[in-house]
Amino acid sequence: MDVMGDKATLYEVGRFVQTAERDETGEAVEELRRRIAAEAGDVEAMSVLGAMLLRRGDLDGAEPQLRAATAAGDRAAANNLGVLLHQRGYAEEAAGWWRVAAVAGSAAAAHALGRHHRERGDEPAAEYWLRQSAEQGHTLGAYALADLLEHRGEDGAERWMRAAAERGHREAAYRLARALDRKAQRERRLSGDNGVKSSVLAEAEQWYRQAAARGHRRAALHLGAILERRGDIKEAGRWYLTSAKDGEARAACALGFLLRDAGDQESAADWWLRAARQGDGNAANALGALHAERGETQTAERWYRAATDAGDVNGAYNLGLLCAEQGRIAQADQWYRRAAYAGHREAANALAILLLRGGDATGAEPWFSKAAEAGSVDAAFNLGILYAGRGEDGPALRWYERAAAAGHTEAALQVGIARLREGDERTAERHLRCAAGGGSAEAAYRLAMLLDARRPPQPAHELGEPSQERNECEEWYERAASQGHRRAQVRVGMLAAARGDVVEAARWYRQAAEAGSRNGAFNLGLLLAREGSEPEAALWWTRAADAGHGRAALRLALVYARRGELADGQRWADRAVSLGPVEVAERAARLRDALRQELSA
């Protein structure tokens, strides 16, 4: 029980008006003056002298003075006598004197009496006396009433917490800020817009500031978090530092992340170490990740274990990743399971992948489902792959659509492809655009093909003719081509050739050919042949034919036939017949027969 006879309490009866602390000599003089007056029967002097001795811890000296003043009707003395008796362990007798003082109008005594009843479980009586205290403007009474109402989930808690905060109560300011902060977070979730400026959050920030300025370390931590989310990194760092120096491990951890993001890994590691030694699992996990990046796997594992022991499931997940990278599959399975059972969705997804790679598709599926239901986009996509592999296209598409809706690029591609097969070009285009915008080269290529198919036929152009205007489908072809998509590179080369840009066409054909595209090699050969470089063209046709390109084999047969190398011409003609397509095979067969007759003549 707090001492109620402090200077704040005595202000209400006008006893102490000065705010500066007296030095020891001045206090001794004041005490002597009060003692002389008390011995002369001055009730006020008895009360004040008793309070002075009580504050100093001289209970034996204080008690007779307070009893004498109480007997004379001094309510402040009655309150302080209650405090003294409470300190001696006489709770019921103390409550009796608090009741006397409270009935006489002492807000401090009403507060003390309310707390007495709450400690004994008599909440109705506690509420009555705390309300009496709060309504008289007593700060501690307002805070204690707010705490009781909040505990019971009743209305009015915020009102009285605000009243205490406005009167300078540090913990009330912090708790009011926390309540407003949570309210603002609920508003953001309901609105679905995390960027909305909230007046509730602004008020929460104001109360965090008040509490932090009064030395509340958790208020400083949460104030730093608000500022960091808003992008005020420097000020956030200052409040994190203040809180961390006061011993708040979470602030030390957060400060470490700010320093890491600023490029100061060494200072970040120092703060993480400080927080980890105080039992902060997040900081221990961060230290593990730092050492893992440096290749110090043993140290990383030690910190991941410390994080796990501190209750941070990310530590168990990262231990699983570390073990999997080292080929320690059984241990990886163990750590993934530990994190997954604790609700870590990415650990559940990783465990499912581990099981799937081990051939246990049946065991993998429920973990993929658990992760996906918990919000793992990758797990939803993986479920789509799992069902597609079984030929269950309906369930596969549903999971692909779920992952695509959450922004998964490859899932959007798969939905686009599926909708194209169904003939739903409108939906397909929407998903292909999402996937292409997310960086999928295949989606960009398929989107370009879709748009290309809608264009009216273009008149043929010979090389060297004026170029045509570029359109959207060509832009998507080029985006896919620039990402290394071989078919897109061939198509861009063809479009460049159609515009008469021989150099650009050759560049794209060559890129595709060097990446293994047989069409790119064939088209590059055609371009070189038209430019008079048939020997080099033959080299590219040879590469294309060796990769199974029938037209390239037929071109080679014609080249060798013109050179008079009939045996080689017949050999490539045979190859063209076997490769096709039909019209190529028919032409190659006629050429082969002619060469055979020529050779046998």
3-state secondary structure 31-47: HHHHHHHHHCCCHHHHH
- Tokens read off for 503: 């150099």
Cα separation, 540 vs 551, in Å, equals 12
Average pLDDT rounded to a whole number, residues 94-118: 95
Nearby residues of 594 by Cβ (< 8 Å), 6 or more positions away: none
Report the percentage of the chain scoring pLDDT > 90. Answer: 83
- Alpha helix stretches (DSSP H) within 21-119: 24-39, 43-56, 59-71, 75-88, 91-103, 107-119
What's the pLDDT band for 291 if we cut at 50, 70, 90?
very high
Contact present, 114 and 124 (Cβ < 8 Å): no
What pLDDT digit, counting tens, does each position of 207-249 carry? Answer: 999 999 999 999 999 999 999 999 999 999 999 999 999 999 9
Per-residue pLDDT at 3: 32
CA distances from 93 to 33, 79, 82, 96, 140 (A): 30, 12, 7, 5, 22
Cα separation, 106 vs 593, in Å, equals 121
Whether pTM > 0.85 for this model: the answer is: no
Q: In the predicted model, is pLDDT for residue 564 greater than 90?
A: no
What pLDDT digit, counting tens, does each position of 411-425 carry? Answer: 999 999 999 999 999
Phi-psi region of 600 (alpha: psi -120 to 50; beta: other; left: phi over 0): alpha
Cβ neighbours around 453 below 10 Å, total: 9
97 burial via Cβ count (<10 Å: 0-12, 13-18, 19+): buried
**Least confident range of 165-174, 191-200, 447-456, 582-591:** 191-200
Mean pLDDT of the chain: 90
Contact present, 204 and 188 (Cβ < 8 Å): no
140 burial via Cβ count (<10 Å: 0-12, 13-18, 19+): buried
Per-residue pLDDT at 13: 30
Residue with tokens 């990194």: 233
Nearby residues of 102 by Cβ (< 8 Å), 6 or more positions away: 109, 110, 113, 129, 132, 133
Dihedral over Cα of 81, 86, 89, 95: its sign? positive
Contact present, 550 and 581 (Cβ < 8 Å): yes
- Tokens read off for 586: 């028919």
Q: Which of 71, 73, 78 is nearest to 94 (CA)?
A: 78
Cα separation, 193 vs 131, in Å, equals 40
Cα separation, 26 vs 41, in Å, equals 23
What pLDDT digit, counting tens, does each position of 30-57 carry? Answer: 889 999 999 999 999 999 999 999 999 9
Q: In the predicted model, is pLDDT for residue 26 greater than 90?
A: no
Cβ neighbours around 328 below 10 Å, total: 15
Q: In the predicted model, is pLDDT for residue 7 greater than 50?
A: no
Average pLDDT rounded to a whole number, residues 510-529: 95
What's the pLDDT band for 16 if we cut at 50, 70, 90?
very low
- Alpha helix stretches (DSSP H) within 248-344: 249-261, 265-277, 281-293, 297-309, 313-325, 329-341
